[in-house]
Amino acid sequence: MKVRVTIDRRGEIADPEGATVQRALQDLGFAEVQEVRMNRVIDLQVDGDDPETVRRRVVEMCRQLLANPVLEDFEVEIIG
Amino acid sequence: MRVAVAVFPGSNCERDVARALRSLGADPELVWHRETDLTGFDGVVLPGGFAHGDALRTGAIAALSPIMEPVRRMAEAGRPVLGICNGFQILCETGLLPGALIANRDLAFICRFVEVEVMDTNSVLTAAAEPGQVLRIPLNSYEGNWVDPSRTGRVVARYRDDPNGSQDQAAAVANETGNVVGIMPHPERASDPLLGSDDGLVLLEGFVRSLRSVPA
């Protein structure tokens, strides 16, 4: 089963790289860009037949390793 | 006073810190990160470097190494635990220190001497320093920007300028009891006049003194 984990740095935590990209977009003329967040996507190929079990296991992976609870939120999505 | 200096795949400051600790009368020993028992050691140092190539997040994989279990027990027992640079990042990832280290504000790897000011001498790193003492020490990091949404970290030394955006200009952070400390600049790289400064010695001296004062 293919699982996509999206890891977002929480809004109150600075994202210096996102801020640089935002400025570059504004320099290009995209003045409407208010904020850029350089979030991360991790795709996993996981053995298992039951989507709920797979999802629960991947959430546990996020809690133990893939996301940093101090900075980040995560979402788990079965994509195939 | 035996000090374990943990060695992870990608550590690169372990010999420098061991040499500096030895020059201050301690007995450092390099210990591979797969070790599960640190019985007989009075304290532990997590040295700088790039453990596991900084995969995922700096310190994230190293935080799961077997050696971190006895390190956690030593921290809980009140023994001195010091993380330098990557070691600071590992302590944050392990949860032994609050906060996390993110990319420097200007997205540049900083590699230069900085001046840090001792703010609080109630920690194993600053125990031998004077409050307000200014030390010239090299900073060598990309993820040196400490953020602590919980605001529970105690800043024991801060940058005099603001090189990386670190919260409260924190250069070194201690836990509540002061026995676990992380510092982003490298005191061991300022441990001999030949290196351009020996200002780091007073910090390592504090650590070595603290090893003596902890009950066995």
Tell me which chain A residues have a C-beta less than 8 angstroms from the C-beta of B105: 14, 16
The conformational region for residue B80 under phi > 0 = left, psi -120 to 50 = alpha, else beta, is beta
Lowest mean per-residue pLDDT among A10-24, B92-106, B112-126, B202-216: B202-216
Kindly state whether A65 is in contact with chain B, defined as any CB-CB distance less than 8 angstroms.
yes
pTM: predicted TM-score of the whole model, two decimal places: 0.94
Does residue B215 register a pLDDT over 60?
no
Kindly state whether A78 is in contact with chain B, defined as any CB-CB distance less than 8 angstroms.
no
Residues of chain A with pLDDT under 70: none
A57 Cα to chain B: minimum distance (Å):
18
- pLDDT score of B213: 74
Mean pLDDT of chain B: 96
CA atoms within 13 A on the CB side of B141: 34
| Out of B92, B105, B150, closest to residue A16 by CB | B105
**Between B101 and B214, whose confidence is greater?**
B101
The label of the residue with tokens 């400025």 reads A23
B85 is a catalytic site residue = yes
Rounded Cα–Cα distance for residues B215 and B64 (Å): 28
Rounded Cα–Cα distance for residues A6 and A27 (Å): 28
What percent of chain B shows pLDDT beyond 70? 99
Kindly state whether B165 is in contact with chain A, defined as any CB-CB distance less than 8 angstroms.
yes
Does residue B216 register a pLDDT over 80?
no
The label of the residue with tokens 């279990």 reads B69
- pLDDT score of B43: 98
In tens, the pLDDT along B9-57 reads: 999 999 999 999 999 999 999 999 999 999 999 999 999 999 999 999 9
Work out the pLDDT band at B214, boundaries 50, 70, 90. low
Cα B167 to Cα A21, B117, B147, B206, distances in angstroms? 22, 15, 6, 24
- pLDDT score of B57: 96
B57 Cα to chain A: minimum distance (Å):
9
- pLDDT score of B152: 95
* Cβ–Cβ below 8 Å for B147 and A14: yes
- pLDDT score of B7: 98
Average confidence (pLDDT) over B97-118: 96
Tell me which chain B residues have a C-beta less than 8 angstroms from the C-beta of A16: 102-107, 145, 165
Rounded Cα–Cα distance for residues B203 and B118 (Å): 10
In sign, the C-alpha dihedral spanning B95, A65, B65, B19 is: negative
